[in-house]
Each structure stands twice: as C-alpha cells, then as structure tokens.
C-alpha cells in the first residue's frame, strides 16, 4: 500500500529544470543561474517574499517552451531574436496549473524590451516587473562565460548591461543589478557547482506541497515538454500513462497506486530530453552508439526523479 504522498513543489520544479538542461551540456544550470540572479534582484529592490519566490520558480522554468535544441541555443545570443514564441508556449504550459499559475505571465513577457517605458505594456496587456527582472537576469546569465574566471568578467558584463539600460532593460533594475555586481559572493554563487543547494537555502521560505492529484497534473504538463520534441512521440507518454493506469485497475491496484502508475507513465521518458531529435526520428537502423544513447535515457530519468524526496515509489 502506497503511503499518503506529499512532495515539495520546489523539489519537483528543481528536478524538472535539471531535465530540461539535458537538452545540451551548454545549457547546464542556465535555469538555476537565472533563478538565482532574478531572486537577488527582486530582493535588492524590495519585492515581497511571494514575488521573490515566484521569480525563483519562473527562473527555473523560463525556457520550458523552447522545445528544440536550436531554439535553446538561439536564446544564448545576448540580443535574441524571435524569442516570443517559446515565451508564449511557456505561458500556455503553466497558466492552468494553479500552484504555478502566477509565474505564467512572468514567463510570457520575459523577453519584452523596456524601450524607454513602452515595454511596460505589450499588446494592451500590462507587463509585470517580474518579467523585466527575469529578462535582465536571463541576459546577465547569458553574458557569463562559464569557462573563464568570473570576477574578471564583472566589469565587461556590467558595461554591457548598462549600455542597454533604457533600451533592453528597466533602468531601476539595472541600478539594482549594479549594486549586486559589487559583491563578489554574488558572482561566485551564481557560477557555483553548488548552485542547487544555494537556491534551496535562499528559497527555504517556499513551503508548497503537492498532493497526488496536483503531482499528476504537473507530470501531465511535463510529459508535453518531453513528447512534443518529436512528431513521432507526440502522444507517447500520455498513452503509456493511460495504459499503465488501466492495467493497474484490472489487476486490483488501489486508487492511489493507479494514480502513481499514471504519474510514472507521464514521467518515464523524462531522460529522453538528453536524446537529440535526429536520433529519435532516424528513419533507419540505429548505430551501436546511437542505441547506447537511447538506452541511457532510463538512467537519466532515474537520477533526476531520485532527487525528489518521497518519490521513490515511482522511480523504478
């Protein structure tokens, strides 16, 4: 019998952010870095704890709508073009999931330029200040050269950001960033290999737990991110989830166990984010190397889900 399940929303979002980073080694920890920088800017300008926490989640998930490797890599250009599509997809993903619905507008507008104040609205809708914080944090993270010593980069990054104050970025936020930039620990934490634990510590006030139904809804949402990368897998995980649930009922599992099997079906291919669409969609026989890459996705799924406390019942 499976015990009553409640899992931390922060832990689930953190692990799913890790899964998205599997798309490319170039992107590792990008979401966490943006989350950390956005949180600190929000703190610097005195936003309330709820808005700070919303930015932590928005940062961890801001590029969820970029479903292809090309889209993700294009966004690493400082002045990214055609970046609204993935932001809109991200908005649509989260707007109906109540625990994360407040971050949906932040993600939707996180590439809107300030443009001397014109960016306070977009197509008649008000752009939240959190979106402008996310945009600035994202561009700071993109400007960091991961293979170079960080403190020597600070002056150049600040000059690049300040040059775009009023154009790309809200001047008030640029001033807050410049204050943060004088603190060495800010930069060292931003590129730290321990950024996950740093974020967890800063976000310790986030006490939101998901019950089985909410976890089921979030798992369904993320199966879309997993499956939509290829037209050949567009309904695969949802099909596995439905089949697993039905078979579980037929052999007499409890209602809760059937729900857990459905969650497992939605998430069983999470590690496939590490597999390129070229391999997933290859029309001919896979090479030995390609087969091993496909085979590794189960390990990646196990490793990622294993970071969530009390989720071991589906991590098989």
pLDDT tens, N- to C-terminus, the chain (316 residues): 445 667 888 888 888 888 887 776 677 899 999 999 999 999 999 999 999 999 999 999 998 887 655 554 454 555 555 567 888 988 998 999 999 999 999 999 999 999 999 999 999 999 999 999 999 999 999 999 988 999 999 999 999 999 999 999 999 999 999 999 999 999 999 999 999 999 988 876 667 888 888 889 988 888 888 877 677 777 888 999 999 999 999 999 999 889 989 999 999 988 888 887 788 888 889 999 999 998 998 998 888 888 777 665 555 4
Residue 230 gets the label, from left (phi > 0), alpha (psi -120 to 50) or beta, of beta
Q: Find out whether 70 and 26 touch, Cβ atoms under 8 Å.
A: no
- Alpha carbon separation from 140 to 50, 93, 176 (Å, rounded): 23, 25, 13
Residue 287 DSSP label: P
Separation CA 298–CA 316 (nearest Å):
9
If one looks up domain 23-202 in CATH, what number appears? 1.10.3210.10
Q: What is the pLDDT of residue 236?
A: 87
Residue position matching structure tokens 């689930």: 12
E strands present in the chain: 7-8, 121-122, 125-126, 209-210
pTM: 0.86
Q: What is the pLDDT of residue 314?
A: 55
Residue 121 DSSP label: E
Q: Compute φ and ψ for 84, nearest 5 degrees.
A: -80, -30
CATH 3.40.630.30 fits 211-305, yes or no: no
Q: What is the pLDDT of residue 1?
A: 45
Q: What is the pLDDT of residue 273?
A: 81
Separation CA 209–CA 9 (nearest Å):
5
Q: What is the pLDDT of residue 256?
A: 87
Long-range CB contacts (within 8 A, 24+) of 237-246: 237/265, 237/266, 237/267, 237/268, 237/269, 238/265, 238/266, 240/265, 240/266, 240/268, 240/269, 241/265, 241/266
All CATH 1.10.3210.10 domain ranges of the chain, comma separated, are 23-202, 211-305
CA angle 32, 119, 129 (to 5 degrees): 45
Q: What is the pLDDT of residue 278?
A: 80
pLDDT tens digits, one per residue of 221-264? 888 888 776 777 778 889 999 999 999 999 999 998 899 899 99
Nearest-10 Cα torsion for 237, 241, 246, 248: 130
Listed in sequence order, the residues at least 6 apart from 207 whose beta carbon sits closer than 8 Å to its beta carbon are: none
Q: Find out whether 228 and 93 touch, Cβ atoms under 8 Å.
A: no
């Amino acid at each position: 019998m499976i015990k009553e399940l409640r899992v931390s929303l922060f832990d689930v979002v953190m692990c799913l952010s890790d899964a998205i980073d599997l798309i490319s080694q170039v992107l590792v920890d990008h979401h966490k870095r943006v989350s950390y920088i956005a949180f600190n800017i929000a703190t610097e300008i005195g936003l309330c704890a709820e808005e700070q926490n919303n930015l932590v989640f928005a940062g961890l998930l801001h590029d969820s709508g970029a479903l292809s490797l090309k889209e993700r890599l294009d966004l690493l250009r400082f002045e990214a073009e055609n970046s609204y599509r993935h932001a809109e997809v991200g908005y649509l993903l989260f707007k109906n999931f109540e625990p994360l619905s407040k971050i949906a507008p932040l993600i939707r507008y996180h590439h809107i330029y300030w443009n001397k104040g014109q960016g306070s609205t977009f197509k008649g809708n008000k752009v939240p200040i959190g979106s402008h914080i996310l945009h600035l944090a994202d561009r700071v993270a993109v400007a960091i050269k991961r293979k170079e010593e960080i403190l020597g980069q600070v002056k150049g990054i600040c000059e690049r950001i300040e040059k775009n104050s009023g154009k790309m970025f809200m001047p008030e936020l640029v001033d807050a960033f410049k204050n943060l930039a004088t603190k060495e620990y800010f930069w060292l934490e931003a590129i730290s290999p321990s950024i996950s634990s740093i974020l967890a510590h800063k976000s310790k006030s986030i006490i939101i737990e998901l019950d089985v139904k909410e976890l089921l809804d979030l798992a369904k949402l993320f199966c879309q991110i997993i499956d939509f990368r290829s037209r050949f897998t567009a309904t695969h995980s949802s099909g596995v989830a439905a089949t697993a649930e039905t078979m579980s009922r037929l052999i007499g599992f409890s209602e809760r166990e059937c729900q857990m099997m459905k969650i497992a079906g939605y998430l069983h291919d999470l590690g496939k984010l590490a597999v390129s669409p070229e391999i997933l969609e290859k029309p001919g026989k896979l090479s030995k190397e390609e087969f091993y890459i496909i085979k590794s996705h189960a390990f990646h799924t196990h490793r990622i889900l294993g970071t969530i406390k009390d989720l071991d019942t589906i991590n098989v």
